Structure 1
């Protein structure tokens, strides 16, 4: 397990947008003003980053370099790491037993009997249904250092994989040290809630997620077929009530990865319109009440993404 105080990535890779320093200001961006108004209405803290996936044009960012518990956002890295395993045959059959199962997500985590499927379908179950059991089996094959290697190539500087307890503790420590904490009592409650949670998750930042999405779309992390497999599978995400909800119309597609734990609800996605360069967008949210997970927050993530994507599309 890596030291979660140490970033997994290196410097920003060529072609990756640099969200710049984080801060509360909205500058000249109307969309960032909308983001803060939506967050205030919903009662959530928010961090965002958005840019065109080819690395050109402006970057819209708010608190984009602050570490957050990323929950299942690490699964995009896991998919890419699996496809890089030397000699791996994606069609090789793997049997998953009851002993392999961990809670969380839709898919193998809900089943009781042994199931045999391929590495490719394990990847699909992990990305489409955020299946934690599929992710555990994949990580046993790849090892966490393989995810770190993908993160370094993507230019991610503040992303690490560990148990939920570790990643929540790392994020709380970083925001206390950085002076952007939300209150000792609230942070202590988060730490207590996460203390015994051994399911894997991540710490990450909105800017890291932006770098990952742009590197993926630009084909810098995998060959053409594997890039198409990962992006295409992300486009079949079961969770449709966040960013996808804002782009459910002809001519638009979303390839996304969600992260959910406790008060945290996130999505990182490529938003694709016909004939246009995709826009990479990440929205990280934390409900101000630890146990409060309202459907309105999911809808709000879609609203926030729509505001960011709309401004970037109009700035061509």
Structure 2
């Protein structure tokens, strides 16, 4: 007898040493797979998708030009391992190219440039207008990183392997940091793919950027096919590994998926959990596609 897909999803999370929450929905029929869809979760860099939509809505409405140039001096630049965050010299970049870096390599400095341009309140207005009532940004990305440094104490990054330190990080508590639910995130993706969140022109631009993300180790790992397109955005903090995205099949099937995980092991590198995001997404999509047959 076939194993229930929800059971397979929960088993995959458990075998990887993680707690996980997943929601998957067929964008065209509304059929869903619910494995903790309404659990409050920390978004981490997944919230950059909300910022990206806000940028494009402002461009659509007129107060912002996507070709506008932004200055990014090295002093005070938001830390991070990629993009502008890792660069040493002054940078001048357009709004749309900063958005590319923010989504393709999760560049924190690029995200801060865009947040300074549109404001954190505008990001929350965007999600509220879409009815994402359980999605809210409390801090900028730079502020979130600052709370981790403060909560880690004098031992810095080395302390982030200590479970007692992990337990006190505000950045890992949905009630005290940027948060959402898996269901809210699939609603957001569905609105973008249906051109309900902004005009078709801006929706296409957002979908393009999500398709340019460079990380293949999470959701994309579950769909190793040349004719299946994966567009997504990851999010990572100590013990947290997330990704939300849309899987598009050559027959026209479109599936919005949100996967959020928390590991028991505080190690910075846990490939098994990364791969489990792809595994569970694939289980969910296969179940949705089987229902269509």
TM-score class, shorter: 0.7 to 0.9
Matches within 5 A, 1:1-316: 30-54=4-28, 56-85=29-58, 86-161=62-137, 162=139, 163-164=143-144, 189-194=165-170, 202-291=178-267, 293-316=269-292
CA distance in 1, matches of 2:6, 2:168: 33
Q: In the superposition, relative to structure 1, how do residues 41 and 167 fare at CA in structure 2: closer, same or farther (>3 Å)?
A: farther
Q: In the superposition, relative to structure 1, how do residues 311 and 166 fare at CA in structure 2: closer, same or farther (>3 Å)?
A: farther
SS at match of 1:160: coil
SS at match of 2:215: coil
Q: Deviations over 1:225-248 (max 9, x none)?
A: 111111111111021111111112
Q: Which moved more, 1:293-302 or 1:134-143?
A: 293-302
CA distance in 1, matches of 2:213, 2:52: 14
CA distance in 1, matches of 2:113, 2:200: 25
Give the CA deviation at 1:106: 1.6
CA distance in 1, matches of 2:45, 2:256: 18
Give the CA deviation at 1:152: 1.7
Q: In the superposition, relative to structure 1, how do residues 282 and 29 fare at CA in structure 2: closer, same or farther (>3 Å)?
A: farther
Q: How many residues align?
A: 268
CA distance in 2, matches of 1:41, 1:291: 16
Greater per-residue helix proportion = 2
Give the CA deviation at 1:201: 6.6
Q: Residue 158 of structure 2 aligns with which residue?
A: none
Give the CA deviation at 1:291: 3.2
TM-score (norm 1): 0.79
Segments of 5+ residues of structure 2 without an aligned counterpart are 149-161
Give the CA deviation at 1:105: 4.7
CA distance in 2, matches of 1:166, 1:312: 41
TM-score (norm 2): 0.85
CA distance in 2, matches of 1:134, 1:228: 21
Q: Deviations over 1:197-242 (max 9, x none)?
A: xxx9721111111111111111111111111111111111021111
Give the CA deviation at 1:160: 1.5
Give the CA deviation at 1:275: 2.7
Q: Which moved more, 1:40-49 or 1:92-101?
A: 92-101
